[in-house]
Copies of this chain bind each other. A is one copy, B any other.
């Protein structure tokens, strides 16, 4: 069996058009007022072609070859990476959601999200290079001086220059407050950057001549902790074309994404410029991180789609054991109940998470462009609420879904010729970077739910309950009841943890992971119910029936897992979490 990618374009269109009703939202937003679904389809068809035709063929060889660093610190990417990147830039892909004023195509984040899902499904290692561009673009656009913008923004928007986020240091990972890289102001207004960074994706490579590093650092008079962190733009090549004083000391040998150069960087008095206000670097960087977190969630989604469709194809071809009175010596393993569970679960999970991730992208679009300030604020809060869920839940299942799919292949899943084991290895990183999934859980519960007294969550729950009413009106009483039940469970658990938090500040931290998993299942219940309702309206009855079966499977077999997580959340007050003893 060959490893293939068939872009889920019909499902993408179904989610945008019928589940999320995106065109109606776009019609309200000035930059997208003229956009129609056929144009979107055409763009996504091209993206699908690029993903399956250009990126997939160099995926396995990129894994085998990896990146190579020479003694001078130069990094060579795997065969075919440069050519693919050139084609990517020429196709205008980097600038998809960027402002036309800066060379962009001005398409919605939602469309960009669908394109990214396809690209990463076909080649995660390669996608690492351009994946940071949009975040860098947003950060520079919002926070850099006019001078810096004029010099770098268009190049970053169009992908002529790639970007790197330089946050982590050996002693400062999840806790950026511990970072030590120094930024010394120079008489000409520039900064002199001195320090070491590790785990810098695309810190050095051969895809573009210049690389823009966004470096977290400390000014001389900075207060300790996260309140004293500034952000500097440090290019690999200075404006006069001379090399800047930065050096790649090594690249990591990793479990997966071998095509992505993960660099240890040394800045030895490198020239840079402040982006944003002094000591406010984290705020400026957060814009980049939120965008990056959505992208990482889409990585999990892309891996699940890839794993699911290939496992299904394999299971339909592989004959082992009898499952029916077919009279054959053996039936396709896809007929066996255990495999049906695995594959239906994979399908339901993938399609449900697609609805959730795309809703988050739509929220970002509406937050930026809806004419109504109330809508903008609400959608902004919703995007903030959903981002940690998309990042953590989609990447959790990106990895665990890949493992479930690998199991379908049996022994063949564990060997290199089949692509699934690379998907498994590649997918694992997404649970870690851009803030570990545990950090996402804390962000969700502390900052996105409890900090505003539950207002953003309540607003979303009302949206979900409105969907339940629509389901009921469509004759889907069971789906409506399940969704209502899950919304009530989420609300009750949220109230319980809010009450406990008032007396016991550690309590939310003890249940944050379960809270995120619980709320992810509420969102899944909403996505399944909304998809089920929307499927009733599609003209292709065969497709609609199949979609309905998968979504019903999700509501019946997947969603009940929520109960265990909510039970643990409610137990926050009473159950002990002892300290560890070695």
Give A residues with C-beta under 8 Å from B.
168, 171-175, 177-178, 198-199, 224, 252-256, 262, 312-313, 315-316, 319-321, 329-330, 333-344, 399-400, 403, 406-407, 410-411, 413-417, 421, 424-425, 428-429, 431-433, 436-438, 441-442, 506, 509-510, 512-513, 542, 546, 549-550, 552-553, 556-557, 560-561, 563-564, 567-568, 571, 575-582
Contacts and interface: CB of A to CB of B under 8 A. Distances in A.
Contact of A335 (B199, B343, B557, B579): B579
A505 B321 CA distance: 16
A162 B160 CA distance: 59
A96 B333 CA distance: 40
A568 B577 contact: no
Contacts of A338: 438, 441-442, 509, 512-513
Given A174-B321, A340-B580, A341-B577, 8 more contacts: A168-B411, A171-B319, A173-B320, A174-B320, A255-B425, A338-B513, A343-B580, A407-B432
22 contacts: A174-B321, A174-B333, A175-B321, A177-B329, A253-B416, A254-B414, A254-B421, A255-B421, A338-B509, A338-B513, A339-B438, A340-B577, A340-B580, A344-B578, A407-B431, A407-B438, A410-B432, A411-B433, A546-B581, A550-B578, A552-B576, A556-B571
Give 4 nearest A-B pairs by CB, closest first: A175-B320, A338-B438, A337-B509, A549-B578
A403 B432 contact: no
Contacts of A575: 556-557
Given A560-B564, A568-B557, A407 B436 contact: yes
B340 A416 contact: no
Contacts of A425: 255, 425
Given A252-B415, A329-B178, A407-B431, A509 B336 contact: yes
Given A173-B320, A175-B321, A253 B577 contact: no
A173 to B, nearest CB: 5
A577 to B, nearest CB: 6
B567 A564 contact: no
Given A338-B441, A512-B338, A513-B338, A568 B560 contact: yes
A415 B254 contact: yes
B560 A567 contact: yes
A305 to B, nearest CB: 14
- The residue among A177, A255, A441 with the most chain B CB atoms within 10 A of its own CB is A255
B253 A415 contact: yes
A582 B344 contact: no
Contacts of A567: 560
Nearest to A178: B330
Contacts of A513: 338, 341
Contacts of A339: 438
A516 B372 CA distance: 54
Nearest to A506: B337
Contact of A553 (B199, B341, B542, B578): B578
Contacts of A400: 400
A298 B13 CA distance: 48
Contacts of A178: 319-320, 329-330
Contacts of A417: 253
A413 B256 CA distance: 12
Nearest to A199: B411
A575 B414 CA distance: 33
B255 A510 contact: no
A308 to B, nearest CB: 11
A319 to B, nearest CB: 8
A579 B403 CA distance: 22
Contact of A424 (B255, B321, B415): B255
A481 to B, nearest CB: 15
Contact of A510 (B174, B337, B424, B564): B337
Contacts of A333: 174
Contact of A175 (B330, B433, B442): B330
Nearest to A549: B578
A344 B425 CA distance: 26
A301 to B, nearest CB: 19
A424 B224 CA distance: 37
A389 to B, nearest CB: 16
Contacts of A337: 506, 509-510, 512, 577
A174 B410 CA distance: 8
Nearest to A338: B438
A174 B414 CA distance: 15
B173 A582 contact: no
Contacts of A582: 312-313, 316
Contact of A564 (B321, B542, B564): B564
Nearest to A550: B578
Contacts of A557: 568, 575
B424 A428 contact: yes
Contacts of A224: 329
Nearest to A562: B564
B577 A344 contact: yes
With a 10 A CB-CB cut-off, give which of A256, A329, A341, A411 has the most chain B CB atoms.
A411
Contacts of A411: 168, 173, 198-199, 432-433
A399 B407 contact: no
The CB with the most chain B CB atoms within 10 A, among A199, A262, A438, A564, is that of A438
A579 to B, nearest CB: 7
Contacts of A255: 414-416, 421, 424-425
